[in-house]
Structure 1
């Protein structure tokens, strides 16, 4: 598969600039932890995240979730949603990954997560695989 190219304009010579595809489907703080050492990552909700969210490998490892089949998301109000974890592996050289699948759409709908909202995921405890999710709503543009 060929990478898309951007061509610089206003030059005597056409110089292709290779644009590599995104390495990860979520925008994350690389290997981030809070002040207590609890792993956390953040996504900005986009259309392609409507059904699944890929969890960073380092987060899975630090939280001890690497071989788990599920986890629990808890919102600010304390309500919880069971989430299925689906491991995916690819023979095409693309790295293996783990996605939040069943339960994510319900969590997203119940918490009215819209495009542009930021979700911060923080691992809380291992016995229940509990993840706290804080949602920061995107600013609405006023086109009046």
Structure 2
């Protein structure tokens, strides 16, 4: 276990050797590592693998020891943990652990080998308007494949090609749709959406440690989130911020970078922050503008 410097960020790490009889249903955190929680351990944490995939895991105290409990078994199963695997946990100081997994050979373990994946091609000539066919994996996820020249030739020979009149109608509809989209995309690049904002009142300490972006804002404004975004205050100071999303992309949290922003702006229990998204033409969030208000409701400058 060690604490190291990486740029301006302190990394807290510990390692565990995976033993099936001890760690298949729960994993104990080293006792000496618990001091880094500063006396207040989060009830829920997020595990992130090297691909950015996330798992929600409960942190529980059992017989005086902190363990990863509910959610850990699913993580171990999906990562195919085996006897003797070496795991390195990197703590971000809030509620997130980045996990690196190494096999007994000493090499980092990757994702499930492609050979285990069963791909079944599905071809539908009537609906294949964009000349791309779908492929469905055994896990239910669709993949787009490159166009098949033979399929295209076959569709022409069998009379599947639309008539001249149909092509003209299709072109006219496409032009009308493009005009409508152009009206929607009048926004200049990086211009704020109409009222895409939210407020958070930090009425409890745990809210300072685990900040969640309201699902309602993301859904109603159709905002797309990347893994990295910029926090910017009213003095035009900026901080890089990572966005942590759950496996099903249903919930989104502030990750690395929030701690630095919070400390730089003296945000504490009782403060309130107003957040406003800045997006590009595709509704991809580029920045979060932040206005910080003190306990008395006054803006912090």
Task: State TM-score, norm by structure 2.
Answer: 0.30
In structure 1, the residue matched to 2:271 is 117
Q: Residues of 2 paired with 1:63 and 1:71: CA distance?
A: 16
For the Cα contact (< 8 Å) 1:72–1:128, is it kept in 2? Answer: no
In proportion to residue count, which structure has more helix? 2
Q: Residues of 2 paired with 1:38 and 1:121: CA distance?
A: 10
Q: Residues of 1 paired with 2:285 and 2:239: CA distance?
A: 12
Q: Is there any run of 5+ residues in structure 1 with no aligned partner, and where?
A: 1-35
Give SS of 2:223's match. Answer: coil
For the Cα contact (< 8 Å) 1:63–1:123, is it kept in 2? Answer: no
- CA-atom RMSD, angstroms? 2.4
The counterpart of 1:77, out of the listed 229, 235, 241, is: 235
Question: Using a 3 Å threshold, how does the CA distance of structure 1 residues 128 and 64 change in structure 2: closer, same or farther?
Answer: closer
Task: State TM-score, norm by structure 1.
Answer: 0.61
In structure 1, the residue matched to 2:259 is 105
Question: Using a 3 Å threshold, how does the CA distance of structure 1 residues 85 and 109 change in structure 2: closer, same or farther?
Answer: same
Deviation at 1:48, TM superposition (A): 0.7
For the Cα contact (< 8 Å) 1:42–1:119, is it kept in 2? Answer: yes
The counterpart of 2:223, out of the listed 52, 56, 64, is: 64
In structure 2, the residue matched to 1:11 is none
Deviation at 1:58, TM superposition (A): 2.9
Question: Using a 3 Å threshold, how does the CA distance of structure 1 residues 63 and 52 change in structure 2: closer, same or farther?
Answer: farther
Per-residue CA deviations over 1:99-125 (Å, capped at 9, x if unaligned) read 011111110000001111110001123
For the Cα contact (< 8 Å) 2:224–2:285, is it kept in 1? Answer: no
For the Cα contact (< 8 Å) 1:121–1:132, is it kept in 2? Answer: yes
Larger RCO (CA within 8 A; separation ≥ 6): 1
Deviation at 1:128, TM superposition (A): 6.4
Q: Residues of 1 paired with 2:292 and 2:231: CA distance?
A: 12
Largest Rg, 1 or 2: 2
Q: Is there any run of 5+ residues in structure 2 with no aligned partner, and where?
A: 1-192
For the Cα contact (< 8 Å) 2:242–2:257, is it kept in 1? Answer: yes
Q: Residues of 1 paired with 2:222 and 2:232: CA distance?
A: 16
Matches within 5 A, 1:1-144: 37-45=194-202, 46-61=204-219, 62=221, 64-66=223-225, 68-89=226-247, 96-126=250-280, 129-139=286-296
For the Cα contact (< 8 Å) 1:85–1:100, is it kept in 2? Answer: yes
Give SS of 1:50's match. Answer: helix
Runs of 4+ more than 3 Å apart: none
Question: Using a 3 Å threshold, how does the CA distance of structure 1 residues 48 and 86 change in structure 2: closer, same or farther?
Answer: same
Give SS of 2:239's match. Answer: strand
For the Cα contact (< 8 Å) 1:87–1:97, is it kept in 2? Answer: yes
